[in-house]
Amino acid sequence: MENRQGWVVVAAGALMTCVSIGTMFSLTVFLQPISTDTGWTRAGVSAAMTIDFLAMGLAAFVWGALSDRYGARPVVLAGAVLQGFGLILASRAGSLLEFQLAFGLVVGIAAGSFYAPMMAVASQWFRRNASLAVALVSAGMGVAPLTVSPFARALITAYDWRTAMLVVGLVTWALLIPATFLVPQPPPALPAETSGARADADADFTVGQALRTPQFVALALTHFACCAAHSGPIFHMVTYAMGCGIAAMAAVSVYSVAGVSGLGGRLLLGVLADRFGARPILTIGLMVQALGAGAYVFVGSLGEFYALSVVFGIAYGGVMPLYAILVRDYFGARIMGTLFGAVSMLASLGMALGPWAGGWVFDTFDSYAWLHIGSFAIGLGAVAVALTARPPATPTPLVPRPA
């Protein structure tokens, strides 16, 4: 059933992922002003992002399971309320621990409520264009650097970081809460056209069976290593560019260019995945991502940052929706919220490493070089694991023993 309501759900999902992930990643813009104003170390402030991803990862599995059982709307509504509340609390924090708990724990738990549930529910509204729908919901994350980060930077320039974060929290409520009411229950499940995997997966796998397959483990570990490889360079991109002598707004524009490229990458790699299969395109994208992360060691001028951010953005943005496509193709839409929530949980653990590691590397060596070298090595590991993620065989049904 492909109709206007389905595309409304996709648009609402894209807005939610844009605002929720964008407000989290706005910490990359707040990092230096917070550290300068409060005296808190960059590693300490960056740790809030690490807590974000840990909390988001653990919460994503629970949120995904709840959305499979009760529907996406109550899940994303609860997340919308929590996200704005966490940002407002963080803006009033009087100590580093208070800031880490508010921005890290509360915002992280809230952010976990959007991605997996909305990716799952959007795919269930479509029969032929499920991959495109998933890519467009994920594309909201690519729009975030173009919207939330420059907005936050402008507020910091005009006022101070506390006022800026308070305003961001209020705007988050104004945008997310109404959007949740645009997400009704999906229509009855229809057989979906897949990207070369198994079209009958819904009837075959239970959650327990899927979680025990080597293919699920490989997908989860690949997503973990993928996110561990790109989270550090992304989070510290603005600060690194400013350390190379680039002005603050220009440094933010480098991050925005990466975001635009990530948006294009999601659509480009999604189209290529429909034509050539998600798995080979994922592997190629992961290789380009690894090379891009390592190449940041060699850039220094604004033009070099722009050029590399285009390539790196296409790669890290483009691979992100492919995991959801593979989960749906391998295991089906019926349990997709739970399974993709579990995959996202591992991905969030990977995302948690980069911000903290980058802050520790800079505080220890006064340079980001080892961050980018380490990201390159982890990225190659993601490529190696991705090569093992072949489609699973149909599980053998359990036959009850005769009495």
- For residue 74, give its domain range: 4-386
Q: Which residue did the predictor score with more confidence, 201 or 331?
A: 331
Identify the pLDDT of residue 192.
46
pLDDT band at 120 (very low <50, low <70, confident <90, very high): confident
Residue 371 pLDDT > 70: yes
The residue that leads in pLDDT, 210 or 332, is 210
> In this structure, what CATH number is given to the domain that contains residue 294?
1.20.1250.20
Confidence of residue 116 (pLDDT cuts 50, 70, 90): confident
| Contact (CB, 8 A) for 364 and 41 | no
Mean pLDDT on 240-262: 86
Residue 86, in any domain of the structure: yes
CA dist 159 and 281 (Å) reads: 44
Average pLDDT value over all residues in the chain: 84
pLDDT for 395: 60
Percent of the chain as helix, strand, coil, to the nearest 5? 80, 0, 20
Q: What is the pLDDT of residue 275?
A: 79
pLDDT over threshold 60, residue 199: no
Nearest residue to 177 (alpha-carbon basis) of 85, 262, 248, 267: 85
Q: Is residue 398 part of a domain?
A: no
196 domain residue, yes or no: yes
Residue 51 lies in a domain: yes
The answer to whether residue 307 sits within a structural domain is yes
Q: Is residue 228 part of a domain?
A: yes
Count of domains forming the chain: 1
Say if pTM beats, i.e. exceeds, 0.85.
no
CA dist., res. 303 & res. 291, Å (int): 18
As a whole number, mean pLDDT of residues 164-193 equals 82
347 pLDDT band, cuts 50/70/90, is confident
For 102, how many CA atoms within 13 A lie in the half-sphere containing its CB? 21
pLDDT at 121 over 50: yes
Query: What gap in Å lies between CA 15 and CA 206, rounded to an integer?
Result: 31
Q: What is the mean pLDDT of residues 10-25?
A: 89
pLDDT band at residue 70 using 50, 70 and 90 as cut-offs: confident
Asked if 365 and 297 count as a contact pair (C-beta separation under 8 A), the reply is no
Write down the pLDDT at residue 150.
83
Q: How confident is the model at residue 399 (pLDDT cuts 50, 70, 90)?
A: very low
How far apart are alpha carbons 265 and 261 in whole angstroms? 6
CA 35 from centre of chain: 25
- Read off the tokens for 364: 């220890």
170-185 average pLDDT score: 90
Confidence bin at 187 (pLDDT 50/70/90): low
- Residue 399 placed within a domain: no
**Is residue 396 one of the residues assigned to a domain?**
no
When pLDDT is averaged across residues 147-170 and rounded to a whole number, the result is 90
